[in-house]
Structure 1
Amino acid sequence: MGSMEMENLHDSYKYSGFWIRMVATLIDSILMMFITMPLLYSIYGASYFDSSAVFRGVPDLLISYVFPISVTILFWVYKSATPGKMAMKLKVVDAKTGNPPSIQQSIIRYVGYFIAFIPLFLGVIWIAWDRKKQGWHDKMAGTLVVRAQNNVVEDVDFSEA
């Protein structure tokens, strides 16, 4: 990416903070529940939701784990955002270039969520204090979440990754 393109990216986007990202995550979670819960209900019936079992079989594994992971990573790679982030006009980008994240970055970012959640959600709450509004999952993957300049406060600098 040329220096003029990087300058335009810098001028066009700002870092996205904690609360707007939480709203986007809530939207994504609700949408995923609207897809997965009816599928699980149609296969297992109401008893699925009363069970304390973590794993109920291959359909459960595919619907509850493989599908959400795959869809999230594909949205990041091909759209730079999940539906919730799109609704909030946010983008996940490579911290160095401003381009969409690679498949590798997206996988690391997804796995990084689990690491960020382990110590009392500290790795996610970290977004509120970080200068570039990165959670631990973003730092691990080398990504940023950005928003159009007229919607937030802080300038994005892709050259300092």
Structure 2
Amino acid sequence: MEFRHGGFWLRFVAAIIDAIITQVGLMLIGAIVGIFIGIFMGAAGSSMQSIEMAAGGVGYAIGLIGQWLYFTIFEISGWQATPGKKVLGLKVTNMEGQQIGFAQANIRYWSKIISALILLIGFIMIAFTEKKQGLHDIFAKTLVIKDKPA
């Protein structure tokens, strides 16, 4: 089957949309949790420094876990896409165009760290590879395709 691959710029815009959604959403969740930490630790007589350290650590954990869940759950869902990709008519598939599973979504997500660490070259590859795959897509054996086959 021939696929219409999602190119660099479409994926870039989708990434911006997803970044806005995750940052705003996780910031709100972090603020709410931070308020509760402050209330409970303050009532227990903890110092402001202890409250700030606890809230910072919990905020970091919420950010890390929240981002991971956002991308992994949306990409294994029936949408096969994050909201950013969905809005632009893209979806994540395996090499045969089928829905990916939890393990494959995890490989894809965590491999993005490598794509970023090598001066973003893993992402820039999307513009130059035949199937418009980033390094993380190659590791996970995934494609980002336009929702309807050619």
Class of the TM-score when normalised by the shorter of the 2 chains: 0.7 to 0.9
Identity %: 32
Partner of 2:105: 106
Task: Give the TM-score, by structure 2 length.
Answer: 0.80
Moved over 3 A (4+): 42-45
Q: In angstroms, what is the RMSD of aligned CA positions? A: 2.1
1:77-122 CA distance string (max 9 Å, x none): 1121000000000000001x21111111100000110001111100
1:9-68 deviation digits (Å, cap 9, x = unpaired): x3xx401110100000000000111211122233447xxxxx9x8x822x3144211122
Distance 1:16 1:107 in 2: 20
Cα 1:81–1:129, aligned 2, differ >3 Å: closer, same or farther? same
| Structure showing greater relative contact order (alpha-carbon pairs closer than 8 Å, 6 or more residues apart) | 1
The 5-angstrom pairing of residues 1-161 of structure 1 reads 7=1, 10=2, 13-44=3-34, 56-57=56-57, 59-78=58-77, 79-95=79-95, 97-148=96-147
Match of 2:48 in 1: none
Stretches of structure 1 lacking an aligned partner (at least 5 in a row)? 1-6, 46-50, 156-161
- SS state of the match for residue 106, structure 2? helix
Unmatched segments (≥5 aa) in structure 2: 36-51
**Pairs aligned (count):** 132
- Look up the equivalent residue of 2:27 and give its one-letter code: M
Offset at residue 148 of structure 1 (A): 4.2
The TM-score, its normalising length taken from structure 1, stands at: 0.74
State the partner residue of 1:4. none
Paired residue type of 1:20: L
Does structure 1 retain, via aligned residues, the 8 Å contact 2:91–2:147? no
When Rg is computed on C-alpha atoms for both structures, the one with the higher figure is: 2
Change in 2 beyond 3 A, CA 1:69/1:148 = closer
> Cα deviation per residue 1:131-159 (whole Å; 9 max; x = unaligned)?
11000000000000001469xxxx6xxxx
In structure 2, the residue matched to 1:3 is: none
